[in-house]
Structure 1
């Protein structure tokens, strides 16, 4: 029978495809409408309240423009807190150095660099709040450097405008039923769970697919972190849903890792024993099909795997490789259960079985360079304007501080700087067109709202596309800054051209500094990541590795970030990635082994073997670790089920650490690790 031939698309179909690729989706139109309404509501309220800078309320809405309600609420909270901290410090700095401009600018540069440094160690909206508290001082203190007596009034007006903006966007999002974060996260998390269980099934049936495929799976899980932290404020049971989402994400990391280590353990064995084959069949059933086993099926699987593991340890001469494989199968079943429970908690709002954190990888050296870069950039810009003798350059200094701080938190500062340069240029052009061609001296709020609508809609559409997000965000934020809505509206062409020139100049300064002032090249970023991994591995080997669940999440995030700077020829990239996974696996194994051995230490019968095993992990030689693991299994054989299971967990990680050290001994020696 001949295969069915797909119909050839007509010219009309091709034109429809092109139109659909360009025309925004209905959800994008709804998002743009909400942002425009919120900006106009904030402006109207600011005019009615006679705030000093009404445009700040509209700018606040633009900065808080997020497609989902939870994202906007989370960002609004930390924006308000950051504004309060920045306003208080601005008043303090002006009170201390109001008569000395040099000391004021130097103290601000130090504060801004400190905020950027701290923000690099925080996550998501908390990082934004820390960074905002830095450049808020510029908006209040530096902008009033010639009129320090106005700083207090400016700070009060700034806080009031931010409050108006937050209330406006919150009201519009609620009134127009903005999409909730938890619902979209539930759909995304369910889809990623299906992909992760399919990955685990492939590992069980066909073997380890390699680090590249594992990295692709991690890359699918990692973006869910941000939404997991944004849903706590959406509902009354939001904290429970957020905890469930975090638990599920951590479990998916564990599922991917345990499936690979189970496949690796079978490879170490050579010929699997009947017990291992049964364990593989059980796990394959759990991950096969739709990969969504219920609580009862998971409980039965865990019970059977526990009995297989206890029987393996009870043998006269336990096979450590068999114990490793059975323990990894049991770990996989437990991770699947946590994933099921976490997704159920996210969907229904009940308290999950556990509440875990999802730490992210941060490099001290990268944070330090980012802080030094923003301080040098601001200082050099001040010197440039002083020698140039330009008037009213405090406006440009504020923009340099704000965009420089934002770039310091962006994963790709160069791409962000490109977006700032293009967005500033577009904002200047559109603001000029709206002011002097569309409005052309007209007054009245309805006319202003209609004139600003097309640009706001365009900026929202651009911000929803990942490729043009930077351009859209900058256009949305700086367009109302340059229009500067007021009551009555001011039309001063000279002032407008001066401000437009200064914002474009500040964008050009940012574009140059991210390339010339302490840039972080891919080679340098890789070196920093390996150095951080080396120190964490040293801590894990001596028993200071911390909680195993959080370490798995941290290592997964480190691998995800490392892959973004893993450039070069394909064989070199593959080898680097293999070594990065080896470091992560060894660190997690050592941390878990020490934790289990510490739990077994109070038992007098097990204390000598646990001490020996910990010393071998700490000081070596690593070749004796498998023998110590066998001694531990023999000693725990008659100590009860709990002791047997704890010894099996410790043994699996001890043997895994020994195998990794044996496989990568030459590389690990170059890291200067003890006992190698």
Structure 2
């Protein structure tokens, strides 16, 4: 099983930045944000410094998208938080119930999107939780806290933009540029299949497509939708051109072969070989290649990634369970710092609700939070009491900020580094008034126990690459059966679009040589062949003559083989 989060940033982004330079740049931005937020007397000015780290990204496109998501999610979550506080007037049970509903809605809706769009939804969820729980803990109704959080986000994004401006002007490799060689290799594969009756192993090509799929997550341009649409068609080409030509029509040795591989030639050759499924895919590919700016193509592919009820419900359940576990502990113990614990559980339960490997990420969070809490408590109790002005306060926190930023650019420590820095700022609370030891230690303990509550929630409802790939593969099997059972060309085509989108997604989780992926590719091939059998609709309900019994049986066999592969893989993992 491949790690879906393992991304070759050297290919996806601009020139790599030295970790020391990144640490200096990010630390300067964070300290500037903290100073500005403190100068205008905002509540919790360290939120501004935290924003600098939260939007720090290795790619310029990802930075811009994440900054916009940070601003939009903070504004939306703050507005909802104010509504809950005003409507429920600090009633704990009702407020927690309202938060649970809002977190479920945000996490479930966010599961339909990726990267920055997903971040916008989960941020809206946990921002409301932070505001409401802060008010519950302090037993005050302070709407200004919401405005201050938005202003801190604006200040943090502005400071991060200023210190990253030279990097933002650099340009990474365009997704379409990366797609061109893959298109050529795919067409070469089709030509070899049609003219020679065989094709080479698709695994190298599939590996490149998988890398491109992961690269699309970090693109801020409008190319990602289009590239995924093309990738889905290329996967269909691979599915319809197996390594052995035994299940196809004879090769066409007498046809002229153009070294430029014009796609029109391949369409004609596929038609001559009575490979109607292959002919349809090549025709769609030709249209997509020459209409890259057609909004309808993007809209069609976006609609293809339709609602997957299982994934949405699981994503919605995780933050609710984390909130319930921490809330029950708070209600039972009446702990003074219990609101901080529930806040942390809600934050991380929501943040990783749609993450490809949320369960493992929370282990990194726990490690980083533990280290950050130790550094934060030590700084707040031992150093900050001796800082009597802003300059000395910044001097006290600079070493820890530099350490966190430097670790963030090291592959082995990147995943825990940001949580180290966030927890450090939350526990150190620079520029705040001195607090008794028991309060500082209680807040640090509450943060760690909140993380443990989130870990427990993800143990009950796992979020792993294995579980995610299993859900996607099961969806492919259901869509294959849907095509076998329908008489409507429109429904069959819609199912094919959704299946193609799911297949692209599955490629990001499994090895191309994996048995489950091969079974899923067989489903793709059989569905494409079935759709190619439909003629223009003749019935008033959009239906036409049903596909042949042989095709229906082939679809059911393909779905059954995929289900058997999923079950076998699940038993192997369980043992």
Quote the residue 1:557 is aligned against: 504
Q: CA 1:579–1:456 in 2, change beyond 3 Å: closer, same or farther? A: same
Quote the residue 1:585 is aligned against: 525
* Structure 1 residue matching 2:163: 3-state secondary structure: helix
Quote the residue 2:425 is aligned against: 480
Measured after TM superposition, the shift of residue 204 of structure 1 is: 4.8
* Structure 1 residue matching 2:100: 3-state secondary structure: helix
Quote the residue 1:123 is aligned against: 114
Measured after TM superposition, the shift of residue 55 of structure 1 is: 0.8
**Any conservation in 1 of the 2:214–2:508 contact (CA below 8 Å)?**
no
Q: CA 1:30–1:68 in 2, change beyond 3 Å: closer, same or farther? A: farther
Measured after TM superposition, the shift of residue 439 of structure 1 is: 5.0
Quote the residue 1:616 is aligned against: 546
Q: CA 1:448–1:668 in 2, change beyond 3 Å: closer, same or farther? A: closer
Measured after TM superposition, the shift of residue 144 of structure 1 is: 0.8
- 1:405 counterpart (346, 350, 354): 350
For residues 463 and 478 of structure 1, what CA distance do their matches in structure 2 show? Answer: 14
* Structure 2 residue matching 1:615: 3-state secondary structure: coil
For residues 327 and 260 of structure 2, what CA distance do their matches in structure 1 show? Answer: 63
Quote the residue 2:11 is aligned against: none
**Any conservation in 2 of the 1:61–1:166 contact (CA below 8 Å)?**
yes
**Any conservation in 2 of the 1:120–1:362 contact (CA below 8 Å)?**
no
Measured after TM superposition, the shift of residue 57 of structure 1 is: 0.9
Deviations 1:481-515 (A, max 9, x none): 2221216x636543322222221222222223321
For residues 472 and 249 of structure 2, what CA distance do their matches in structure 1 show? Answer: 34
Quote the residue 1:155 is aligned against: 146
**Any conservation in 1 of the 2:267–2:282 contact (CA below 8 Å)?**
no
For residues 270 and 517 of structure 2, what CA distance do their matches in structure 1 show? Answer: 32
For residues 201 and 457 of structure 1, what CA distance do their matches in structure 2 show? Answer: 50
For residues 424 and 669 of structure 1, what CA distance do their matches in structure 2 show? Answer: 40
* Structure 2 residue matching 1:145: 3-state secondary structure: helix
Equivalence map 1:414-429=2 (5 Å): 414-429=359-374
Measured after TM superposition, the shift of residue 198 of structure 1 is: 3.8
For residues 121 and 667 of structure 1, what CA distance do their matches in structure 2 show? Answer: 27
For residues 563 and 413 of structure 1, what CA distance do their matches in structure 2 show? Answer: 17
Greater RCO, CA 8 A, separation 6+? 2
Quote the residue 2:172 is aligned against: 184
For residues 394 and 533 of structure 2, what CA distance do their matches in structure 1 show? Answer: 64
For residues 481 and 167 of structure 1, what CA distance do their matches in structure 2 show? Answer: 21
Give the total of aligned pairs.
540
Q: Kindly indicate whether residue 91 of structure 2 is the aligned counterpart of residue 103 of structure 1.
A: no
**Any conservation in 2 of the 1:526–1:562 contact (CA below 8 Å)?**
yes
Quote the residue 1:382 is aligned against: 327
Equivalence map 1:159-170=2 (5 Å): 159-170=150-161
Q: CA 1:308–1:113 in 2, change beyond 3 Å: closer, same or farther? A: closer
Quote the residue 1:234 is aligned against: none
Q: Which moved more, 1:541-550 or 1:493-502?
A: 541-550
Deviations 1:353-385 (A, max 9, x none): 964645658642232123223212212211212
Q: CA 1:150–1:218 in 2, change beyond 3 Å: closer, same or farther? A: same
For residues 517 and 145 of structure 2, what CA distance do their matches in structure 1 show? Answer: 52
Equivalence map 1:247-266=2 (5 Å): 247-262=226-241, 266=245
Q: CA 1:590–1:78 in 2, change beyond 3 Å: closer, same or farther? A: farther
* Structure 2 residue matching 1:151: 3-state secondary structure: coil
Quote the residue 1:134 is aligned against: 125
Deviations 1:505-564 (A, max 9, x none): 22222223321x233677765653344223323444423145599546513334225628
Quote the residue 2:34 is aligned against: 43
Equivalence map 1:23-38=2 (5 Å): 26-38=17-29
Quote the residue 2:274 is aligned against: 323
Q: CA 1:439–1:538 in 2, change beyond 3 Å: closer, same or farther? A: same
Q: CA 1:661–1:122 in 2, change beyond 3 Å: closer, same or farther? A: closer
Measured after TM superposition, the shift of residue 458 of structure 1 is: 3.1
Q: Kindly indicate whether residue 250 of structure 2 is the aligned counterpart of residue 271 of structure 1.
A: yes
Q: CA 1:521–1:40 in 2, change beyond 3 Å: closer, same or farther? A: closer
For residues 458 and 308 of structure 1, what CA distance do their matches in structure 2 show? Answer: 61
**Any conservation in 2 of the 1:43–1:54 contact (CA below 8 Å)?**
yes
**Any conservation in 2 of the 1:217–1:256 contact (CA below 8 Å)?**
no
Quote the residue 2:218 is aligned against: 227
* Structure 2 residue matching 1:144: 3-state secondary structure: helix
- 1:504 counterpart (438, 441, 448): 448
Quote the residue 1:455 is aligned against: 400
Unaligned runs of 5+ in 1: 1-23, 232-241, 288-300, 313-321, 343-349, 623-656, 672-676
- 1:533 counterpart (462, 466, 476): 476
* Structure 2 residue matching 1:323: 3-state secondary structure: coil
Measured after TM superposition, the shift of residue 97 of structure 1 is: 1.8
* Structure 1 residue matching 2:344: 3-state secondary structure: helix
Q: Kindly indicate whether residue 456 of structure 2 is the aligned counterpart of residue 469 of structure 1.
A: no
Q: CA 1:192–1:452 in 2, change beyond 3 Å: closer, same or farther? A: farther
Deviations 1:459-482 (A, max 9, x none): 234334555332022123222222
Measured after TM superposition, the shift of residue 193 of structure 1 is: 4.0
Deviations 1:34-67 (A, max 9, x none): 3222212211211121111111111122211112
* Structure 2 residue matching 1:51: 3-state secondary structure: coil
**Any conservation in 1 of the 2:465–2:509 contact (CA below 8 Å)?**
no
TM-score, with length taken from structure 2: 0.81
Unaligned runs of 5+ in 2: 1-14, 566-575
Q: Which moved more, 1:377-386 or 1:207-216?
A: 207-216
Measured after TM superposition, the shift of residue 425 of structure 1 is: 0.9
* Structure 2 residue matching 1:143: 3-state secondary structure: helix
Deviations 1:562-601 (A, max 9, x none): 628x9xxx9xx52x3322212233334445655x634xx5
Measured after TM superposition, the shift of residue 270 of structure 1 is: 5.5
- 2:536 counterpart (566, 590, 597): 597
Q: CA 1:127–1:305 in 2, change beyond 3 Å: closer, same or farther? A: closer
* Structure 2 residue matching 1:53: 3-state secondary structure: coil
* Structure 2 residue matching 1:411: 3-state secondary structure: coil
For residues 99 and 422 of structure 2, what CA distance do their matches in structure 1 show? Answer: 23
Q: CA 1:172–1:551 in 2, change beyond 3 Å: closer, same or farther? A: same
**Any conservation in 2 of the 1:305–1:330 contact (CA below 8 Å)?**
no
TM-score, with length taken from structure 1: 0.70
For residues 494 and 148 of structure 1, what CA distance do their matches in structure 2 show? Answer: 20
For residues 35 and 463 of structure 1, what CA distance do their matches in structure 2 show? Answer: 10
For residues 80 and 139 of structure 2, what CA distance do their matches in structure 1 show? Answer: 14
**Any conservation in 2 of the 1:252–1:339 contact (CA below 8 Å)?**
no
Measured after TM superposition, the shift of residue 263 of structure 1 is: 5.0
